[in-house]
Amino acid sequence: GNSVTQMEGPVTLSEEAFLTINCTYTATGYPSLFWYVQYPGEGLQLLLKATKADDKGSNKGFEATYRKETTSFHLEKGSVQVSDSAVYFCALRSNAGGTSYGKLTFGQGTILTVHP
């Protein structure tokens, strides 16, 4: 079945540091890939997405590239801010059809804390 593996956390960085959160996946076919963010006390929000190989999703300074050869979708940001402190989830949606079309499979989440 489909699965998503994220790097172990938590991750603690100083403001303006470079961020990488690793994400690898296992899926049949060609899934769509997503990063969601969950700020304290809030619901899940879509951060960025990529729907096919070599696509780069970007939003709010965050980027991730869909790498089919390495089945990866690592999240990066060149200079983090205190306001980026949140939990980040990598997820995939199978495009293989069938009754579970649209179902999201999530990784376990990575807690990011950014200090001033």
Partner 1 sequence: EAGVAQSPRYKIIEKRQSVAFWCNPISGHATLYWYQQILGQGPKLLIQFQNNGVVDDSQLPKDRFSAERLKGVDSTLKIQPAKLEDSAVYLCASSLDGTAAGYTFGSGTRLTVV
Residues 91, 37: Cα–Cα separation, whole Å? 11
Residues 29, 49: Cα–Cα separation, whole Å? 17
Q: Under a CB-based contact definition with an 8 Å cutoff, are residues 44 and 37 in contact?
A: yes
The distance of closest approach from Cβ of residue 28 to partner 1 in the complex, given in angstroms and rounded to an integer, is 16
Map residues 10-39 to x or -, x wherever contact with partner 1 holds by CB under 8 A.
----------------------x-x-----
Map residues 58-97 to x or -, x wherever contact with partner 1 holds by CB under 8 A.
-------------------------------x-x------
Which residue, 28 or 81, has its beta carbon nearer to partner 1?
28
Binding site for partner 1 (CB under 8 A): 4, 32, 34, 42-46, 49, 51, 89, 91, 99-109
